[in-house]
Amino acid sequence: MNNNIKIAPSILACNFSKLSEEIIAIEKAGADLIHLDVMDGHFVPNLTFGPPIIKSVRRYSKLVFDTHLMVQNPDDLLEEYANAGSDLITVHVEACNNLVETLERIRSLGCKAGVALKPKTDPLFLTKILDKIDLILVMTVNPGFGGQKFINEMLKKITVVKSLIGSNHIDLEVDGGITQDNAKLVVKAGANILVAGSSIFGNGDEKKYKLNINSMR
């Protein structure tokens, strides 16, 4: 077991009809962060939840709330996401009009700032903004839906991003299709935070959450 690896279960795969109970159960099972997938029906075709839902479950967990914004023009609601209790806010580079301003605003709201890369996004621009970010999220599926298959070619991209980070204190989070089988490869490539929905919440059997998390480390 590698305790330097942090596991961030994505509540997208949980049973939304008992969201607070799922969050309590997943924290008890050993999760390190709660990954919150916000989708707007524009940047991605799917639609999920926003600040009111995040705020309503904030009191059920002490874990880091890791808000992944898959929304076009995230700027308008950043304050609401921060006030709802996000500790970390990650935006997609293609969704921002002025990425640096958005990242600075996230930090000024007291949150850590992350940038997400879709599978086709070239990571090279990151070299210019390393001092503006606390986390890089490499997507290993096309954003929008849980339960997709991990794109193997992304392993190489994770190693490229890891070397771009160099000695900077920036987390490397990987999101999409992570399973107990490929987690090791993803970590070997350089990731230190693993997001996983389906392979942790599985068929909703709460008794298995701890095993699902541990076997991913």
- Active site (catalytic) residues: 37, 175
Instruction: Pick the binder of ligand DX5 from 6, 7, 12, 189 (CB under 6 A).
Output: 12
Comparing CA positions, the residue from 88, 90, 27 lying closest to residue 57 is 27
User: Which amino acid appears at position 67 of this protein?
Assistant: T
Q: Which two tokens stand for residue 161?
A: 């991003």
| Contact region with ligand DX5 (CB under 6 A), list: 71-79, 157-165, 170-178, 207-215 | 170-178
Which residues between 53 and 72 bind Zn ion (CB under 5 A)? Answer: 68
Do residues 120 and 127 lie in contact, with contact meaning Cβ atoms separated by under 8 Å?
A: no
Q: Site mask, Zn ion, residues 122-161, x = CB under 5 A?
A: ----------------------------------------
Which residues between 138 and 157 bind ligand DX5 (CB under 6 A)? Answer: 141, 143-144, 146-148
CA–CA–CA angle 51, 54, 55 (5° rounding): 85
- Counted residue by residue, the chain has a size of 217
User: DSSP class of residue 52?
Assistant: H
Q: Is 171 in the site for Zn ion (CB under 5 A)?
A: no
Binding residue count for ligand DX5, defined by CB under 6 A: 21
Comparing CA positions, the residue from 63, 31, 11 lying closest to residue 194 is 31
Q: Which is nearer to ligand DX5, 128 or 184 (CB)?
A: 184
Give the whole-angstrom CA distance, residue 2 versus residue 183: 11
Residue with tokens 């308008």: 76
> CB of residue 128 vs ligand DX5: minimum separation in angstroms?
25
Kindly list the residues in this chain that would bind ligand DX5 in the complex (CB under 6 A). Answer: 10, 12-13, 35, 37, 68, 141, 143-144, 146-148, 175-178, 195-199
Kindly list the residues in this chain that would bind Zn ion in the complex (CB under 5 A). Answer: 37, 68, 175
